[in-house]
Amino acid sequence: MGEHQNFRKEFIYRVGTFFLIVSLGLIVFFLLSEAAGKPTFEYFCWGTVVGALGFLFRARHKKEVASSGRFGWWRMLIKGKKE
């Protein structure tokens, strides 16, 4: 059951990445249409909507990154002052 849950999270994360790439393409098409003198605002609107969905999907299932411990001394310094 846990393996299925991990697959689902990874899949949603990858769909979010796909949406971000499609969003970038749509916004580029909008910029190209603007440069051609016939702006097509549907590209911009759909690019914004799809980009927001991509950010939501990716933020929902972030990959956990272990702390490197580089600033552990800072946390201990602050923690010591509070106690």
Structural domain spans, the chain: 2-82
Q: Is the pLDDT of residue 1 over 90?
A: no
Two tokens, residue 22: 């499609």
Q: pLDDT tens-digit profile of 64-75?
A: 777 777 777 777
Q: What are the φ/ψ torsions at residue 45 (nearest 5 degrees)?
A: -65, -50
Q: Is the pLDDT of residue 49 over 90?
A: yes
* Percent of the chain's residues with pLDDT above 70: 90
Q: Is the pLDDT of residue 36 over 70?
A: yes
Identify the CA nearest to 13 among candidates 58, 64, 80, 66. Answer: 58
d(CA 48, CA 56): 12
- pLDDT score recorded for residue 81: 56
Please tell me whether residue 52 adopts helix, strand or coil conformation.
helix
Mean pLDDT estimate for the chain: 85
pTM score, whole prediction: 0.69
Counts for the chain of helices (H) and strands (E), in that order: 3, 0
